[in-house]
Structure 1
Amino acid sequence: MKIIIGLGNPGKKYECTRHNIGFMMVDAIFDMYDFDTWKTSKFDALTSEGIIEGEKVILVKPTTFMNLSGQAISKIVNFYKLDISKDILVISDDIDMEFAKVRMRAKGSHGGQNGLRDSIQRLGTDHFYRLKIGIGRHGHMSVSDWVLSKFTASEQKTLSNETYKQVEEKIEKFLRG
């Protein structure tokens, strides 16, 4: 069994914002494959179960705010007794990467991303897969205003036409080990 967690903030106010690209990618995976309806779980998260390439997968969207994402992740890891280094993939935004670029790593620092920072702290390790999606920087906006701003229609088109496919390929690679 594998767990794919998208980081983001709950609520309509944050839908389609740069910081919620993790939620957006998990929603895209949900749409690409046959997953059960989203359920509120005891893990402080919405979860959905499905199968990708013969592997049972649970999609997760923490219902805590971004900075407390590790709370839900650690509950899931402990409940299912998962091998953190092999069984979880966390999808998040990365302000230091060019927009729409995708990078997967098996370990590493949080890179200033507070959801990853909290996850590393609560899990006690940085040895877990993470899939970072570039959101770039805006030269004239504060970091907080930028990450909480919504994607433009053009940017959403780029995500749909290019990034979703890259994410799908990376997830299949993650599932193959």
Structure 2
Amino acid sequence: MTSWLVVGLGNPGPTYSNTRHNVGFMVVDELARRAGASWSAPRLMRAEVVETRISSAGVGAPGLDAHKVVLVKPRTFMNESGQAVGKLAGFHKVAPSNVIAIHDELDLDFGQLRLKIGGGDNGHNGLKSLRKHLSTGDFHRVRFGIGRPPGRQAAADHVLAPIPSSLKLDLEIEVGRAADAVEKLVLDGLEAAQNRYNS
């Protein structure tokens, strides 16, 4: 059974829970909900995890094509995410190529998804930290579009501002779509997932 590490990037704590920077957390929360599983915090791992599986019957469901999946929410701040991911990848013997990082992406409009493997960090501190602690950038990314800030608002203020309630329904739809894309990537590979979900 192949093992995957599916990492939502975000900042811990209620202050950040509803911000654009935390869309990665929202997607892994949705996958945990589908699995009917609760988060736990293993000792010394600096993260919350859910151990489950993904098969063609769904998240958490057994099946001949099931893959073991560890969902991860680092308990460090965004720019130290790699500490937890590096430790967990080592502990679960998951190669970097079987790590999927879900993160916010300023260069994509809200509602756009792009899946890829490798590439630069584009100024994203969470990705930078993963690259450092995995010793490579060759991990999968699910880039969740949040759009550029309006007017002259600084990018940092934009990503850390609460998501307006007017976008709540759209956000739920896009979080669900990103979770579907993760399932597709694990089960059918990157190309099939890109063909279906890259927008």
What is the DSSP-based 3-state SS (H/G/I as helix, E as strand, rest coil) of the residue aligned with 2:15? Answer: helix
Gaps in structure 1 of 5+ consecutive residues: none
Question: Which letter maps to 1:61?
Answer: K
Shift of 1:156: 2.0
Q: How does 1:23-172 map to 2 (within 5 A)?
A: 23-35=25-37, 37-41=38-42, 42-53=44-55, 54-85=66-97, 87-138=98-149, 139-161=151-173, 163-172=174-183
CA contact (8 A) 1:93 1:135 kept: yes
1:38-71 per-position Cα deviation (integer Å, ceiling 9, x unaligned):
1112311000111221222111000000000011
Question: Which letter maps to 1:65?
Answer: F
CA contact (8 A) 1:92 1:132 kept: yes
Gaps in structure 2 of 5+ consecutive residues: 56-65, 190-199
Distance in 2 of aligned mates of 1:169 and 1:22: 13
1:106-153 per-position Cα deviation (integer Å, ceiling 9, x unaligned):
111111111001111221111110111011111231111111001111
CA contact (8 A) 1:34 1:50 kept: no
Question: Which letter maps to 1:49?
Answer: E
Instruction: Provide the TM-score with structure 1 as the length reference.
Output: 0.93
What is the DSSP-based 3-state SS (H/G/I as helix, E as strand, rest coil) of the residue aligned with 1:39? Answer: coil
What is the DSSP-based 3-state SS (H/G/I as helix, E as strand, rest coil) of the residue aligned with 1:40? Answer: coil
Runs of 4+ aligned structure 1 residues displaced above 3 Å come to: none
Give the count of matched residue pairs: 174
Instruction: Give the alignment's Cα RMSD to 1 decimal.
Output: 1.3
Instruction: Provide the TM-score with structure 2 as the length reference.
Output: 0.83
Distance in 2 of aligned mates of 1:44 and 1:8: 13
Of 47-56 and 141-150, deviating more is 47-56
Distance in 2 of aligned mates of 1:24 and 1:148: 14
- For residue 11 of structure 1, the aligned residue among 13, 21, 24 is 13
Distance in 1 of aligned mates of 2:53 and 2:130: 25
Question: Which letter maps to 1:7?
Answer: L
Identical-residue share of aligned pairs (%): 37
